[in-house]
Amino acid sequence: MGGGVVRQNGGGGRRRRKGRAVPMSEINVTPFVDVMMVLLIIFMVAAPLLTVGVPVELPKTAASALPSETEEPLTVTISADGVVSIQNTEVPRADLVPRLRAIAAERSDDRVFLRADGAVTYDVVAQVMGALNAGGFSSIGLVTDIGGPTLDGSDG
């Protein structure tokens, strides 16, 4: 990978003179390309694994996506069996409001995204939304999948 030394003979004829050492001025880029290709493959494989990992079947609606923010959004998830999670951590319902108050005290944004499985009853979703409000979060966004009915007579 480093530079080498090339010896040149002085005239090429019958006389043999001692050649001067000239530094090689070419860079071998093959190892650099190999390293970059390996890094590209690693990032392509690792990128899909960096998403929030609580699996839920979100309901489909015709709503558009909310604009992104600088601070990572707080996500509360209700799974199909009624288990509540903050980000990826399961939280008992009795501890939900105190934990939300502690999180709200450290955050500058009061926006929270609520992900609820489509099989969860409205009663459970409303209770968790009340807990979010009691915990200090007044801006609650409901997360859905796109492609649902538009309710204007045409299916999206």
Q: What is the DSSP string of 95-152?
A: GHHHHHHHHHHH-S--EEEEEE-TTS-HHHHHHHHHHHHHTT--EEEEE-EES-B-SS
**pLDDT for the residue 70:** 63
Q: What is the maximum alpha-carbon separation in the chain?
A: 100
Share of the chain above pLDDT 90, in %: 13
**pLDDT for the residue 16:** 55
SS3 of 70, please? coil
The domain made up of 60-146 has a fold known as Nucleotidyltransferase; domain 5 (3.30.420)
pTM above 0.75, yes or no: no
pLDDT band, very low/low/confident/very high, at 36 (cuts 50, 70, 90): very high
Q: Which residue has the higher pLDDT, 134 or 19?
A: 134
Domain ranges across the chain: 5-49, 60-146
